[in-house]
Chains A and B, each alone.
Chain A
Amino acid sequence: MNSFNLEATPKTPQIAFDTNGKFLMRGRSIPENSIEFYQPVLDWLAKYQDAVTGATEVEIKLEYFNTSSSKCIVEIFRKLEKVNQDGHPVKVRWYYEQEDEDMYESGEDFQEIIRLPIELIVLDEEENLD
C-alpha cells in the first residue's frame, strides 16, 4: 500500500496521508463538488483500515472549508472511528487561528459528533495557512 499525497490548489487542500499513520490536511477546502475531490481519499482510507498496524495521528490545518467539504470530513472521521474501534488508536489535532472563532466552533462540532479524541489547538502566529 502506498501513501496518499495531493498538492494544495486554491480550492482544495494538501493531503498527505502516509502508511505509518501520519496524516495531514492543510489549506482550503472549497471545491464546488467535494465528493469528486474526496472520493479517492475515502477509497484510500478503506484500504488503510485493513492495513493499519499502529497508531494514527491526524493534523487538520484548514484555513477555510465549505459545508459540502464538512460532510466529507465527517466521512473521513467515520472511517477513522472504525480504525480506532479495531484497537489502533487514532488522535486528531484540529488547528485554528487565534481569532477564528468559526473554525474553533467547527472543531467543537466534530468533537460532539465524532467518537475520536479531537484536540483543538491554536496555530502559531508564524504559521500561515495561505
Chain B
Amino acid sequence: MILCDYRGNLSDDLFNDILERTEQKLLGIEHSTRIRKKVFSILVEVFQNLHHHYQDELQKKVDAKHQVRLTIRKSGNQYLIFSANPVSYDQAQSLRNRIDILNSLSHYEIRELYRQRLSDGSLSENGGAGLGMIDIVRKTGEKIQYAFENLDNNLSFFKFEVKISA
C-alpha cells in the first residue's frame, strides 16, 4: 500500500503537505501509537536530511527520472520509507562513509554515539545536528539500505531506504 509517492522539487509547503497527508493516512491504518509515532518521526528526519542536501543546481542537471523522490509504503507488517536525490561526488563519498560506519555499529554503540553527539556537538548553520541519520538507525533498529547510481563524473543518484517493522 502506497502512503505517499512524490517526485520533483522540494519546498517547506510541500513538506508540510506530505506530512499532514501521511499522518492522516497513518491514523487510518496503524492502530499502534508507538509505530505511528516512529514512522512519523523518521519521516521528518528523512525529509529534513533530503532538504539539507538539496541543491537546485543539481536538480537542474538531471532528467525527470533522477529528480528528488520520496515514497512511503506499507508492505506486510513493515513500513518502508524511500528517498532518492542527486548528489555531488563529494557528498556521495561522505554519505557512503557515514552510513557504512552507522551500519557497522551495535544498537548500544548507536545509542552511545547519539548521546555523545547530543551532548557536545554543535548545530550547523542550516540547523542540521548531524544526528538525523543516527536517530533513524536507532529508532528503526535496522541497517540503512543505500545505493549510488553514477550519472556522470561528478553526479550520483543517491537512493536510501529504511524499514520500520510493526
A residues apposed to B, CB below 8 Å = 10-11, 30, 32-36, 63-64, 66-68, 70-72, 74, 97, 99-103, 105, 109, 112-113
Contact = CB atoms under 8 A, between A and B. Distances in A.
A117 B20 CA distance: 36
B115 A112 contact: yes
Q: How large is the interface on B (under 10, 10 to 19, 20 to 34, 35 or more residues)?
A: 20 to 34
B45 A66 contact: yes
Name the prevailing secondary structure of the B interface residues.
helix
Contacts of A11: 16
Contacts of A72: 123
Contacts of B12: 32
5 contacts: A34-B127, A63-B37, A71-B131, A101-B34, A113-B119
Q: Is the interface of A mostly helix, strand, loop or mixed?
A: helix
A67 B135 CA distance: 7
Given A11-B16, A66-B45, 12 more contacts: A30-B44, A32-B51, A34-B127, A67-B134, A68-B127, A68-B128, A71-B122, A72-B123, A97-B33, A100-B33, A102-B37, A113-B115
List 9 tightest A-B contacts by C-beta distance, closest first: A67-B131, A113-B119, A99-B34, A33-B127, A71-B129, A67-B129, A68-B127, A68-B129, A67-B135
Contacts of A112: 115
Contacts of B20: 10
Contacts of A67: 45, 129, 131-132, 134-135
Q: Which of B38, B119, B139 lies at the interface centre, i.e. has the most chain A CB atoms within 10 A of its CB? A: B119
A33 B126 CA distance: 7
B32 interface: yes
B127 A102 contact: no
Nearest to A36: B127
Contacts of A71: 118, 121-123, 129, 131
A68 B123 contact: yes
Interface string B32-67: 111001101100110010010000000000000000
Contacts of A103: 37
A68 B130 CA distance: 8
